[in-house]
Amino acid sequence: MSKYADVYLLPILVENVPGYKKLATAAGKIFIKNGALKYREYVASDLNTEDVIPFPKVIKLKPGETIIYASVEFSSESHRNKVMKKVFTDPEMAALMPKGEKPPFDYKRMVYGGFKVLVDL
């Protein structure tokens, strides 16, 4: 059972989503191979709200951009730390992100955090 998750919000140009999906699918397989329990990525479909602060305002979306929400699940924070060490030393992961190549999303505007499960129904 998952008790911990890393969560990411990534601003990305809509035109880059198909290419990003291929990259994320390959990365997800590497996370699972190295011990993550679940790997999911979502693309925004409804960001319009007037009742609360909308994601586009927080992320400061630019014209033509959308948001990817990603979640990687682990059994604990220490499990996450072990898996992440393996993932970032995995040669397959290094091959996915060649040095000098521009990433498909804006790393400087990415939002990240690690979360303990509060409710799991």
Would the pLDDT of 16 be above 90?
A: yes
**pLDDT tens-place string over residues 35-48:** 999 999 999 999 87
pLDDT at 89: 95
CB-CB neighbours of 101 under 10 Å = 8
- For the chain, the maximum distance between any two Cα atoms, rounded to a whole number of angstroms, is 45
Residue 72 binned pLDDT confidence (cut-offs 50, 70, 90):
very high
Q: Is the dihedral of CA 118, 25, 95, 101 positive or negative?
A: negative
pTM over 0.75: yes
On average, the pLDDT of the chain sits at 92
Four-way CATH pick for 4-116: 2.40.440.10, 3.40.50.300, 3.30.70.100, 3.90.470.20:
3.30.70.100
pLDDT tens for 86-107 read: 999 999 998 987 778 888 888 8
Domain positions in the chain are: 4-116
